[in-house]
Amino acid sequence: MTHRRALLLMVLVTLLWSSAGIVSRQLQSARPFEVTFWRSAFTVLALLLWWGVREGRAGLAPMRHPSPMLWASAACWAVMFTAFMVAVSISPVAQVLVVMSLGPLITALLAWLLLRQPIARRTGVAVALAGFGVAWMFGAEARPGVGALVALAVPLAAAVNWIVLQRQARSLAHSQADSVSLPHAVALGGLISAALTLPLAWPFAAAPADLLWLAYLGVFQLGLPCVLVVHLSKVLSATELALLAQLELLFGVAWVWWLAGERPSASTLTGGCLVLFALFLNELRRPRAQETPR
């Protein structure tokens, strides 16, 4: 896969991730924790069915005997799946998004500390500019609170997960002997998230139409893009993954503007342009050597 193709697929990933907001507007009676439970449960069900049909018992083997690497990535996915919904249930969405914009900075620092991955000047500028752009978009509405601490778990878990995926990709580049099926970590993380939120989601109140939308969230908004991003981690660096993930915020705003008629404010449009410029700046002067297939 070329670097350019990986970039395009990562854009598709963020587009699918961003559909959560507009789909949640279609829900009639499902409560926040119930949404988290069903979304995680449908993710697990879809992935297990896919592996079971395609590979039989062998496709489920990594879930029956998870390795430490698999558990580490699964724990990160579970925190990401759960903490976001908890944060938005007790705090303004704007505050959560501002805190989540710290993701690229945290990822770049961890990649530098743990992977000895140097931070290029253009990447450092892009990280700072993207964070400033998101803060500009939502900062006026954000207020410090307990929700900010809960929301901080999302970029922290995401950063650790990108590092885990990157380290696994490096290991596979040298030897296939210790190969770990990290896509199964997405299913395991969903299973942990569903188990954690089940007591808070019970009794269920989702209408039949809600379950169809929640099935979409589990399969196409969560399961498919999360498995895809695991494969993209073999080509894109941890910092690139975190930077490109900021597109989810822009696409989320675009969805509700287009389909729900919620026109964004001038600060939202300005901040969104800064994020796009940051991503463009990071890729503008990339060496041609990185365009070779991997």
The 10s digit of each residue's pLDDT in 85-118 is 777 777 666 667 777 777 887 888 888 888 777 7
- Give the model's pLDDT for residue 142: 57
The two three-digit tokens of residue 87, written as one number:
């944060």
Among residues 80, 29, 35, 71, the alpha carbon closest in space to that of 225 is found at: 80
- 28: enclosing H helix or E strand: none
Q: How far is residue 95's CA from residue 151's CA, in Å, rounded to a whole number? A: 8
Max distance between CA atoms of the chain, in angstroms, equals 56
CB 218 within 8 A of CB 40: yes
Q: 282-288 — which CB contacts under 8 Å span 24+ positions?
A: 282/122, 282/123, 282/126, 282/240, 282/243, 283/7, 284/122, 285/122, 286/3
Convert the pLDDT of each residue in 198-227 to its tens digit. 998 999 988 999 999 999 999 999 889 988
- CA-to-CA dists, residue 40 to 34, 49, 129, 163, 288, angstroms: 10, 14, 33, 23, 40
pTM: 0.78
- Give the model's pLDDT for residue 141: 59
Convert the pLDDT of each residue in 10-69 to its tens digit. 999 999 988 887 888 788 888 888 988 999 999 999 998 888 888 777 777 777 777 888
